Amino acid sequence: MIDNEKVEELFLVLDEKLEKTVNVLKEEFAAIRAGRANPHVLDKLQVEAYGGMSPLNQLGNVSVSDARCLVISPWDKSLLKAIEKAILASGIGITPSNDGNVIRLVFPELTEERRRDLVKQVKKTGEESKIAARNNRRDAMESLKKMKTAKELSEDEAKNCELDVEEAVQKCIEEIEKLISAKEKELLTV
């Protein structure tokens, strides 16, 4: 009676969506700076170059020179002004210094107030990820209900599948919680 292919596909899609939710959260957290030089804060930065928008990491080398300083060495020195302009427009809160060859980004020490604001942002982003995971659970449960109604699943099989969906989503939420507390700890460590 059970349609294994449909159930397997449902769980593959669910696992894929939950994994994507966690990966998106990791990317978001990588972009939140914690007072240390972190090249990932520039990952989403687009620079106007050669008549179009290009990611910064395709226009030069981004390296960490010390704990609180990033150095951007563009392969084409004529892009220095465009890179500087993109950094200022990005809202990361760091003023670039341009010496004609490279751009330096010095990360200031975070104030207590700024740390608390970042923790709030981390919690908000984490909560959004949990909501996404719960939405994935809802979608999977609705699919199971449709299969049960269409007599593709028996009551017991549907119940077992629902428990498996709950378990998968709970694991995802626990992983999100771990990521939130790790980022919170990183931000509050002086």
CA 157, CA 2: separation in Å to the nearest integer? Answer: 8
Given this model, what pLDDT does residue 27 score? 86
CATH 3.30.1360.40 in the chain is located at 39-106
* H or E element, residue 94: none
Given this model, what pLDDT does residue 96 score? 87
Q: Which of 186, 190, 188 is nearest to 38 (CA)?
A: 186
Given this model, what pLDDT does residue 34 score? 66
CATH 1.10.132.20 in the chain is located at 4-31+111-188
Strand partners for 104 = 71, 97
Given this model, what pLDDT does residue 1 score? 43
Q: Which of 51, 47, 108, 93 is nearest to 72 (CA)?
A: 47
CA 82, CA 39: separation in Å to the nearest integer? Answer: 18
Please tell me the class of the 4-31+111-188 domain: mainly alpha
> Is the CATH number 3.30.1360.40 carried by domain 39-106?
yes
Give me the residues of the chain with pLDDT under 50, please: 1
Count CB neighbours of 113 within 10 A: 8
Q: What angle do CA 160, 13, 148 make, to 5 degrees?
A: 40
User: pTM surpassing 0.85?
Assistant: no
Given this model, what pLDDT does residue 190 score? 61
Q: Which residues of 27-62 are buried (b: 16+ CB within 10 A; e: fewer)?
A: ebbeebbbbebbbebbeebebebeeeebebeebbeb
Name the one residue in this structure whose structure tokens are 């620079």.
47
